[in-house]
Amino acid sequence: MSILKTSQLKKYYGSGDTLVKALDGVDLSVELGEFVAIVGTSGSGKSTLLHMLGGLDRPTSGKVWVDGRDISRLKDEELTIFRRRKIGFVFQSYNLVPVLNVYENIVLPVELDGNRPDKAFVEDIVDVLGLGTKKFSLPSQLSGGQQQRVAIARALAAKPAILLADEPTGNLDSVTSQDVLSLLKVTSSRFGQTVVMITHNEEIAQMADRIVRIEDGRIRGKGGEADA
Amino acid sequence: MRKVKNRKVIGRLADRSFKASRTRNVIASLAIALTAMLFTALFTIGLGTVENFQQATMRQSGGDSHGVIKNVTMEEYGKLAAHPLVKESAACEVLSDEVLNPEFLKRHVELWYVPEYHYPHRFLTIKEGTAPERADEVLVDDMTLKLLGLPEKTGQQITLSLQLGQLDPLVEERTFTVTGILKSDPALNVGFVITSEAYLTEHAGELDAFRDESGNAIGSTGNIQMDVNFSNSWGIQEKLDRVITESGYSVTEGDEDYLSSNANWAYISDGAGEDPLTIAAAVGGLGIILLTGYLIIYNVFQISVIRDIRYYGLLKTVGTTGSQIRRIVRRQAWRLAVLGIPAGLVLGFFIGKWIVPLVLARSAYAGGEVEVSLNPFIFLGAVLFTLVTVGISTRKPARIAARVSPVEAVRYTEGAKGRRKEKRTTDGGKLWRMALSGLGRSKRKTVIVILSLSLSVVLLNSIFTVTSSFSMDKFLSRFVTSDFLIASARYFNYEYFGMEEGIEEENLTESFIEACQEQDGFERGGRIYMTAELSLEASTYRPTEHMMTDENGDLYYMIGSSKQPCWQDENGNYMASVYGMEDYPLEKVEPVEGEMDLDAIREKLATGKYVLGQVDTDDNGNVEEDQIRYHAGDAITLVAPDGQRRQFEILSLVKENYYGLTTRKGEAFSFYTAADVFKEMASPECLMSYLFDVEDDREDDFATFIDTYTTSQEPLMNYESRQRYTNEFSGMTGLITLVGGVLTTVVGVIGILNFVNSILTGIVTRKRELAMMEAIGMTRRQLARMLMLEGVCYAGFTILASLAAGCILSLTLVRALSEGLWFMDYHFVIWPMLLVFPVLLLLGVVVPYLAWLPQRKESVVSVISREA
């Protein structure tokens, strides 16, 4: 069953001479528990695609279904709530709240939703990601790799339907990148988590179950459908 | 080190980054403008008041000449005027000891000769006609004509009744033709009639008759005063002394050729300079303005520097030195100052100009024309102080910008200095906790905003504490005994003496009393008689322990540190003031010893066997124990001029009621008896005053009636009303409220600006963070709530801080101030603060909301991708 599906997804910026077709009819579907890497050069439209998938931006036309729901129809406020329940984000620049400690950052989306965090689950994530000793540290005291691991933990804490990672290793050196990615992979299989990751790094992409290549706003080849 | 020409590039960098921060510029230049405005207003009020005091003093002293050498002969004048130090001089001559026309009783008129060239220095302005030429021609001021009941027309004749000489006076009726009309000065309660030089020749013999053999006048008639002007007003008395001694005269009193002189006091005392309270208030005012200005300008720059810290780091990376960066920051500050100061100067001047007359109206110089000149010192001072404030305020932010290391700058986020190791909490994700943490990011900024807001709240509360501590009752109780007090104009000039000879010139007329009694709204009243003809028999008087005897055996008592003798008449008896009161004033006495019941007092006084003895009171109306000169139960004997004696027992001691029940002269021995008893001993002509009440809603009408009556019917009579003192009181509190209100408002506006700035920059600098929060699922509503909670936290801390500071200040400083003044009754007041708190909370909610509105339109993606 597809947990994530798009149909004829289009996103245009500007108009007339300056019309930019960032996405030009993307059909993509991702199965539950899959680890998909979207690869493309800069300007290929991969970030735009991710923003559409995560409900951060609205398509010009086409549809996005997450967990069976058409998110392009949701209102702003509903979309935000949907996002914090169903989608976990990992950004290139970590984006942790500087005044909250590691633990607080991790449980923030859950608390924003007005729920009590599942403590055992959070502890589990923290352990898996090797953050046990850093639970009360502030982001400014962590290294880049550690910060990104916190971001991953935060993305997982709400038990989302999909985890979207936007160049998660973009700011890290290659050794740390490998580390973070292995952890992402481990957690993905351990918690049965669907992961969609964007990268321009082929080597990194190789770790995914499936690679989708995107070029000039379209999917190249047949990567759009899950292997049977 | 080589000197490099980099001024231009630094200027360009500064100007470019200047343009990039518009919000900061608006707020900072507003703040600077307000600071400059406050300084200008303060200086305008200060200098304007001093200037007007000086002007008024000059007018009261009769001119703007630097000094005067008194009672000279024309020969002496010639020598003195030739002295090189003397730049200008004039021989002015007094031509009579008094002008006796009865119309001039309330406002004396003086007859002078003043040389025409000297008119401006004596503030003599001819508004119509010309200067006199012939001996019987004069200039008269308009008010004098009005008092004489004459129109303001030249060519008419006036007759003056002149008293020539003092000891052996000669009264002369003299008629003059009016050639010109002078503008009278409302600040000066004296009229002038000015003659021509011809008068001096025509009446030379008469004037000489009142001079001694050396040619100096004995009294006022023929007294020549030499007005002197030097090139400047420094060291006037020394110059006068030099002129006198170097012209061959002496400055030592008692010498044969002694000449008395004095500097115009307008140049010595500026009316405010020496008063420590005024100085303290001025310094306090300067301090508060400086602090207010500092709090906001500092904060604005601090925030802007921290926001642009990466930019400064970048500049450092490419080779800009610390001092160059400091120059960039400073240059922006000066540019903002250039923008803000002029507006502040103009606004401040007009505010000051508006307030000065109100300040002066409360002073002794009320009634004069008030002018506030464009004194350059006002603006110089304001500019200087504003620049100093800007300088102090930008020092630290400039240093921070200068010190930043290129590497750190990239990582520099507010409050992210690794001071705290860990934060062992797990509920930081709650909205209000996040809001609180938001405040904690830059503690300094937060503290300054809170201080800045609290300052105005505390100021407001203190001002209201002071004004509400002004006790109208206390104030009135000192001055007012009844709705109205009527008496002869002389009484109000402290000239009711109570001697039977000449009593008709100083007593109250029965006709005036009747007129008042017949007027609608009159309720009840009573007469007070007073005579000074009776004395206290020395042989039967038993002095208390507070009376002392000096080496001659004479009694005296102490007032403070000065020795006060008890005056004796030719028989050795002590001079006493004896009052006779009708029932109404008698009900107003306040017994403190002996019989306390007012009914019993009235009945017993009517028997003619008792009197009440008066005891002095201090400013607060408390009996001055060490001034008690007799006790209840003492027997005293009053002696009439014809030797008749009458014995009384002192029934009770009553508090002195200076403004209501006495001659207002302060006497050693004052006794009260009933009016009927009084009339057995002294003439009923000795009618001092009449106190009465009117119906409450008729007070205005009554005042109008008496006002007209005392100008048209009986101009020698005058009055005082409760209303007059009420107005004086509300005028005083009103002024403090006004000045305080203006100050509080401006300080408050500055506080709010500071708050707006820090909220606004807080949101702008965290734009990305906020967008990211939205990305991970914080709804916009939650974001807005968090920001508003931050605002509420600011308000909350401000409330706590101002409550604490306001209460402490109120209980210490304000209380001390309030208890120092007799008409103040300290009350702990907190409602002004409580009233402001909801406003603060509202601001705390509204400001972040409004600041966030424009931000929320931007999509999360654009923020994140733009700033990544």
Could you identify the residue written with the tokens 């009752």?
B473
pLDDT digits (tens, 9 = 90+) for B236-277: 888 888 999 998 888 887 788 888 888 887 776 544 445 566
Query: Which of A77, A104, A155 lies nearest to residue B425, judging by beta carbons?
Result: A104
Regarding whether B602 and B495 lie in a shared domain, the answer is yes
Nearest to B591 by CA among B607, B608, B615, B627: B615
CB B278 within 8 A of CB B431: no
Q: B424 falls in which pLDDT band (50, 70, 90)?
A: low
Please list the pLDDT of chain A residue by residue as tens digits (228 residues): 688 999 999 988 888 888 888 888 899 999 998 999 999 888 788 888 888 888 888 888 999 999 888 888 888 788 888 888 888 888 887 778 777 889 888 888 888 777 888 888 889 888 888 888 888 888 888 888 888 889 989 888 888 889 999 888 877 888 888 888 888 888 888 888 899 999 888 888 888 889 999 988 888 876 666 654
Region B489-495 average pLDDT? 82
Q: How many domains does chain B have?
A: 3
Same domain assignment for residues B12 and B91: no
**Measured in whole angstroms, how far is the alpha carbon of residue B481 from the centre of its chain?**
26
Are residue B623 and residue B591 in the same domain, yes or no? yes
Please compute the mean of the pLDDT values over residues B170-188 and round it to a whole number.
Answer: 85
Backbone angles phi, psi at B784, to 5 degrees: -60, -40
Taking the CA of residue A110 and the nearest CA in chain B, the distance in Å comes to 9
Distance, in angstroms, between A202 CA and closest chain B CA? Answer: 22
pLDDT at B181: 92
Find the CB nearest A101 among B415, B422, B434. B422
Structure tokens at B562: 């000065």
pLDDT tens-digit map of B270-313: 444 455 666 777 788 788 888 888 888 888 888 888 877 878 87
Write the burial class of residue B457 (CB in 10 Å: 0-12 exposed, 13-18 middle, 19+ buried).
buried
Determine, yes or no, domain membership for B200: yes
Whether this prediction's pTM lies above 0.90 is answered by no
Domain limits for position B382: 1-63+275-412
B432 to chain A nearest CA, in Å? 12
Identify the residue among B408, B411, B420, B776 best suited for mutation to test binding to A, counting A beta carbons within 10 A and taking the highest.
B776
**CATH 3.40.50.300 is held by the domain A2-220:** yes
Same domain assignment for residues B79 and B132: yes
What three-state secondary structure class fits B683?
Answer: coil
Residues in A touching B418 (Cβ below 8 Å) = 138, 140-141
Give the whole-angstrom CA distance, residue A155 versus residue B776.
Answer: 8
Out of B701, B720, B739, a domain closes at B720
**CB atoms A101 and B776 under 8 Å:** no
Contacts of B55 (CB under 8 A, 6+ apart): B266, B368, B371
Question: Chain B: nearest CA to A121, how far in angstroms?
Answer: 15
3-state secondary structure (DSSP) of residue B127? strand
Q: What is the pLDDT of residues B740-774, one digit of tens each?
A: 888 888 888 888 888 888 888 888 778 778 888 88
Residue B712 lies in a domain: yes
Specify if B803 maps to a domain: no
Span B649-670, average pLDDT: 87
Q: Is A196 helix (H, G, I), strand (E, B) or coil?
A: strand
- pLDDT higher than 50, residue B203: yes
Check whether residue B261 and residue B284 sit in a common domain: no
Cα distance between residue A58 and residue A83, in whole Å? 13
> Could you tell me if B649 and B565 lie in one domain?
yes
Cβ contact, residue pair A107, B429, below 8 Å:
yes
Structure tokens at B776: 């991970």
Instruction: Enter the tokens of residue B518.
Output: 């017949």
Nearest chain B residue to A107 by CA: give it.
B429
Separation of alpha carbons B185 and B368, rounded Å? 7
pLDDT at site B369: 60
Regarding whether B342 and B232 lie in a shared domain, the answer is no
Q: Any chain B CB within 8 A of the CB of A98?
A: yes
What would the pLDDT profile of A141-172 be if each residue is shown by its tens digit?
Answer: 888 888 888 998 988 888 888 999 988 887 78
| pLDDT tens figures, B332-355 | 889 889 999 999 999 988 888 888
**Nearest-by-Cβ selection for B420 from A57, A111, A138:** A138
User: How many A/B residue pairs have CB atoms within 8 Å?
Assistant: 114
Tell me: pLDDT of B822 over 70: yes
Identify whether residues B549 and B677 lie together within a single domain: yes
Average the pLDDT over B192-199 and give the result. 92
Option in B413, B424, B778 nearest A112 (CB): B778
Q: Collect all residues of chain B within an 8 Å Cβ-Cβ radius of residue A81.
A: 777, 779
The pLDDT > 70 percentage for chain B reads: 91
**B413 vs A100: CB contact, 8 Å cut-off?**
no
Least confident of A25-39, B539-553, B586-600: B539-553
Average pLDDT over residues B620-625: 81
DSSP tag of B633: T
- pLDDT tens readout for residues B716-735: 888 988 888 888 888 778 87
Q: Which residues of B touch A57 (CB under 8 A)?
A: 859-861
pLDDT score for B868: 43
Dmax of chain A from CA atoms?
A: 55
C-alpha pair distances (Å), B42 with each of B264, B735, B789 = 28, 15, 38
Name residue B99's beta-bridge partners: B162
φ and ψ at residue B221, rounded to 5 degrees: -60, 125
Distances (CA, A) of B640 to B415, B476, B496, B568: 91, 36, 19, 14
